[in-house]
Structure 1
């Protein structure tokens, strides 16, 4: 074993294959293999790494869903994204698509969760399905924090407070919530609320998030959503549409180029600012349906998201709109 460098190529390949067989097929530990071959554990570790690099060993992870790899590569080539997952829906109903996207997101998130991460969270159906799908054997000191106030008082199970608490409990971490609505009556009420020490401290923590888990909403679906109707007047609806708003993230609206649309809503929002999303190292956005295509594209162009987990209908719509530029 100490004469490895003097072996010819065929002898090296045979040795690497033998070590890999003992480790992966016979399930021997690296220490046991080292003892059998009269070498060190660290040398066995290096040989196993080399076996993977030389494709003598290929590790295939079979995920329980089908991805559209060609579309994923197109997104990574075309846009500034860290990562992407595109679900092949094969025509399944939308509610099933949401569940599948939640499973993919939960699997992805568990892979990036490390100790001392500050995870900022929004709320809604997509985030609900993601939290429901979380499974882990990790017990790590993460901190989960709401990035915006609540709005769905009739559905507490998909609102921020409950979701943040449940996410944190899966990993044995801590959570901080914003006990305030997303939108308040006017600026003076907002200014008063964000001066509250607890809300102020929570928002400050949210701005320090290292990972943010969110979705995006389309303008049309938001206007027709009863939960938002309490906060968006008909005049505001007109202002948003006439100024070219296509979507929102964290309650902030933007156009197809990702530029913020001023509808005077920001004066009433309890949450982090739109520019704060651009500062987070990894904003993970989960969204489904062609209806959200423009909202997703605007968020990408604005630099508000880094990792994208979407379905094929949304992905194809994004590419179609982007081709029209």
Structure 2
């Protein structure tokens, strides 16, 4: 790895334009891979590059046997797929992400950080990379008889989508760590749990309770045997994988009043987790009635993996990392660099 790092430093000094060209063509190949078949105009829009530039670059990649161009659009070839795989480590070192991970671990004071190149805010494909990296981290820590808790949301839905089918682990149980939230089934914690369980060859239990339920109704529902059993199992989870939300986004999703949203903002709330709203120091600003995992339960879980990307979530990530120092964070380059900027 040191030889690769030295080579990159030499290239930056002697032929810096090669680095720029390589990164541009790598991004083109990745975009085609995820969206094939795709036309030049759509590719141009996705990458924010002019159609003339795209035409030139695509023709070069075609001549190299990395792209196949047909009337329906462009497709990546087997050789193109192999090139993307081989370039991953190079891009990782090129962007200095290993050093950035070490710096972020130190600045946040947490156990482990994994960073994928790019920024979810600017390129939605980065969310897929985030999901893939998180799925690898999950796969490496689960054992027989483990209980895994998951939250909902777009990022967590992507994690379950990117998890490859597994065999070998026995009696793995996946649970929604929280009740339902939002209008879309595919991003509900129940759906994420069911999909992840299928991929892991395990079983799952659902929690049929809305997350923003009133206190009296909540107490009544918790007396039901099935819900009571699920909640008790949630408190015994070995692994928690959760998305990190911005306070303002989550307040709107929970349909909090405009008055309360304004109050949360004025008090410095930047993050939400498990029905609690936090400032950048991880201090509780406000809490709502919640179903499933509590903040006390969260602190007791042995293996905690937070997954979030995009520079706009930087403050939220800082706040949540202040809650548990032995957690693992899977994030992207955009969020990582913004966090360093905020902390410095």
Quick check: which has more Rg, 1 or 2? 1
CA distance in structure 2 between the aligned counterparts of 1:91 and 1:299, rounded to whole angstroms: 19
Gaps of 5+ in 1: 1-60
SS at match of 2:138: helix
SS at match of 1:120: strand
User: Shift in Å at residue 90 of structure 1?
Assistant: 7.2
Pick the aligned partner of 2:177 from 133, 147, 153: 147
CA distance in structure 2 between the aligned counterparts of 1:204 and 1:121, rounded to whole angstroms: 15
Q: Deviations over 1:183-228 (max 9, x none)?
A: 11x21112112222221221121111111010111123334x4x33
SS at match of 2:118: coil
CA distance in structure 2 between the aligned counterparts of 1:306 and 1:284, rounded to whole angstroms: 6
- Please say if 1:277 is aligned against 2:298: yes
Tell me the equivalent position of 2:259: 235
Pairing of 1:43-192 with structure 2 (within 5 A): 64=88, 66-67=91-92, 68-89=97-118, 93-140=122-169, 141-152=171-182, 154-184=183-213, 186-192=214-220
CA distance in structure 1 between the aligned counterparts of 2:216 and 2:117, rounded to whole angstroms: 47
Pick the aligned partner of 2:277 from 250, 253, 256: 253
- More helix by percentage: 2
CA distance in structure 1 between the aligned counterparts of 2:114 and 2:87, rounded to whole angstroms: 12
Gaps of 5+ in 2: 1-84
SS at match of 2:285: coil
SS at match of 2:263: helix
Equivalent residues of 2:119, 2:334 under 8 A apart: no
Distance 1:170 1:250, change over 3 A: same
User: Shift in Å at residue 304 of structure 1?
Assistant: 7.2
- Please say if 1:297 is aligned against 2:321: no
CA distance in structure 2 between the aligned counterparts of 1:234 and 1:294, rounded to whole angstroms: 22
Aligned residue pairs total: 254
User: Shift in Å at residue 91 of structure 1?
Assistant: 8.6
Equivalent residues of 2:148, 2:240 under 8 A apart: yes
TM-score (norm 1): 0.73
Equivalent residues of 1:116, 1:142 under 8 A apart: yes
Equivalent residues of 2:310, 2:335 under 8 A apart: yes
User: Shift in Å at residue 242 of structure 1?
Assistant: 2.3
Tell me the equivalent position of 1:200: 228
Equivalent residues of 1:277, 1:304 under 8 A apart: no
Pick the aligned partner of 2:329 from 301, 308, 324: 308
User: Shift in Å at residue 142 of structure 1?
Assistant: 0.7
Tell me the C-alpha RMSD between the 2 structures. Answer: 2.2
Distance 1:320 1:275, change over 3 A: farther
CA distance in structure 2 between the aligned counterparts of 1:245 and 1:92, rounded to whole angstroms: 21
TM-score (norm 2): 0.69
Distance 1:63 1:295, change over 3 A: farther
SS at match of 2:237: coil
